Amino acid sequence: MLRKAKDDAELDDFGRFSEPALLILVSLAERPRHGYSMTEDIEAIAGARLGPGTLYGALARLEARGLIEPLKSEDRRNPYRLTALGERALRVRLDSMMAVARTGQRRLAHA
Amino acid sequence: MNWLLQLYPARWRERYGEEFGTVLASQRASVGLVLDVLAGAVDAHLYPQIQNSQSKPIKGDDTMTLEMLQRCTVGGPKLSPQDRRIASVFMIVSALVMAVLYIGLTKIYHAAPAVEALFYASFPALALIYEQTAYLRKRPWLTQTFVLGAGLLALYLVMLAVSVIGSKL
């Protein structure tokens, strides 16, 4: 439980980058991607296009906390992948969001 | 639009500049995009996330040079909370000692230039005491005494000269 709370807290101090960081983790959960590919994927799954300032603000934070890591670059576009820590943080955060969503749906059903 | 990259810190550009430029070039120019990049630049300056391990390693074992380079980096060398606490306590005690000394000397010698010089020197002296005790704490005791003593003496002599000149005007 303590581990779960700690993992969940990994994204808590991201401030305004919290949501973009979550979207990046979701995008990288499928496969390693570079910045441009991430913006395309995030637009497809969330309907929002991240600006480069927001994207790299969130990427730098994720990388600094060891949640993602850069892969060896083939060209100018540096791909990133999820680390084990990032995968765990994403699972915990998604579980927590699903629990909230389930509770909300149940309460709305009874309203 | 790539000129906006110049607003980011050099280390940040070195790390993310190329890929950032690729993403920036792929987006349609708009006010929103410019604001996003500007906000990102402010954030990169305020909260640099670049890890020290990502910087280029400094070769060689010249620890003196390495220490000097670290002192020249933005924000100066890292001080532990204990270093800061000890320096703060030392500075507060020094302030009290100087205040008592000044009051005592004023009672005896009134506004003599030598006493006035002590008053003027006390403010920069406190900053000097904090800096020296914090940054030289791991140095030998003799080095600390010599550097701090020489600094305080030089400061007092300058203030004494100013006070003497001021009293003759």
Q: What is the predicted pLDDT for the residue at A2? A: 47
Closest approach of chain B CAs to the CA of A105, in angstroms? 35
- Partner residue facing A53 (CB), from B18, B22, B36: B36
Those residues of chain B whose CB sits closer than 8 Å to some CB in chain A are 12, 15-16, 18-24, 26-27, 32-33, 36-41, 43-44, 49-51
Are B94 and B164 found together in one domain? yes
What is the tens place of the pLDDT at every residue in B80-125? 777 777 888 888 888 888 888 888 888 888 888 888 888 888 888 8
Identify the residue among A18, A56, A67 best suited for mutation to test binding to B, counting B beta carbons within 10 A and taking the highest: A56
Are B43 and B95 found together in one domain? no
Are B49 and B86 found together in one domain? no
Tokens of A102: 């389930």
Are B99 and B137 found together in one domain? yes
CA distance A35 to A33: 7
Are B99 and B141 found together in one domain? yes
pLDDT at B72 over 80: no
CB-facing half-sphere around the CA of A13: CA atoms within 13 A? 10
> How much is the average pLDDT of A82-103?
94
What is the tens place of the pLDDT at every residue in B1-46? 778 888 888 888 888 888 898 899 888 888 889 899 998 988 888 8
Chain A CB contacts of B21 below 8 Å: 76
- Domain-located, residue B100: yes
Helix axes A18-30, A52-64, angle to 10 degrees: 80
Are B53 and B85 found together in one domain? no
> How much is the average pLDDT of B60-83?
57
Chain B CB contacts of A36 below 8 Å: 22-23, 26
Q: Do A52 and B49 touch (CB under 8 A)?
A: no
Q: Do A63 and B49 touch (CB under 8 A)?
A: yes
Q: What is the predicted pLDDT for the residue at A68? A: 94
Are B92 and B126 found together in one domain? yes
In chain A, domain spans: 2-110
Are B104 and B163 found together in one domain? yes
CATH of domain A2-110: 1.10.10.10
Helix axes A18-30, A84-110, angle to 10 degrees: 110
- Domain-located, residue B110: yes
Identify the residue among B1, B23, B51 best suited for mutation to test binding to A, counting A beta carbons within 10 A and taking the highest: B23
- Domain-located, residue B140: yes
Quickly state the pLDDT bin for B131 (edges 50, 70, 90).
confident
More confident residue, A77 or B27: B27
Domain count, chain B: 2
Residue whose C-alpha is closest to residue A68's, from A42, A106, A31, A105: A31
What is the tens place of the pLDDT at every residue in A32-67? 999 999 999 999 999 988 999 999 999 999 999 999
The answer to whether the CB of A24 falls within 8 A of the CB of A67 is: no
Q: Do A77 and B37 touch (CB under 8 A)?
A: no
**Owning domain of residue B139:** 81-168
Q: What is the predicted pLDDT for the residue at A76? A: 67
> How much is the average pLDDT of B119-141?
81
Q: What is the predicted pLDDT for the residue at B58? A: 42
